[in-house]
Amino acid sequence: MTADDVREYEAALAERAGELPELAGARTVAAYVSVGSEPGTRALLDALRARGVRVLLPVLLPDNDLDWGEYAGPDSLAPVRHGGRMTLLEPSGVRLGADAVTTADVVLLPGLAVDARGMRLGRGGGSYDRVLARLERTGARAALVVLLYDTEVVERVPAQAHDRPVHAVVTPSGVRRFRAPRT
**How large a percentage of the chain has pLDDT more than 90?**
78
Residue type, 87: T
3-state secondary structure 24-48: HCCCEEECCCCCCCCCCCHHHHHHH
Q: Kindly list the structural domains of the chain, giving each domain's residue range(s) and its CATH number in brackets, ordered by start.
A: 3-177 (3.40.50.10420)
Please state the rounded mean pLDDT for residues 141-159.
94
Residues at the annotated binding site? 33, 38, 120-128
Query: What's the distance, CA 102 to chain centroid?
Result: 14
Q: Is the confidence at residue 156, as pLDDT, over 60?
A: yes
Reported pTM: 0.93
Q: Mean pLDDT check: name the lowest of 2-6, 74-78, 79-83, 132-136.
A: 2-6
Binding residues for substrate: 33, 38
- CA dist., res. 170 & res. 16, Å (int): 7
CB contact at 8 A, 138 and 97: no
Name the binding residues for ATP: 120-128
Q: What digits encode the pLDDT tens for the residues 84-125?
A: 677 899 999 999 999 999 999 999 999 999 999 999 998 878
Q: What is the pLDDT of residues 47-63, one digit of tens each?
A: 999 999 999 999 999 99
CB-CB contact of 143 with 167 (8 Å): yes
Q: Name residues whose C-beta falls within 8 Å of residue 22's C-beta, 6 or more positions apart in sequence.
A: 105, 106, 143, 145, 167, 168, 181
CA 55 to each of CA 25, 118, 182: distance values in angstroms, whole numbers, following the listed order: 13, 24, 21
- Looking at every residue in the chain, the average pLDDT score rounds to 91
* CA dihedral over 84, 85, 91, 94, signed as positive or negative: negative
pLDDT at site 181: 52
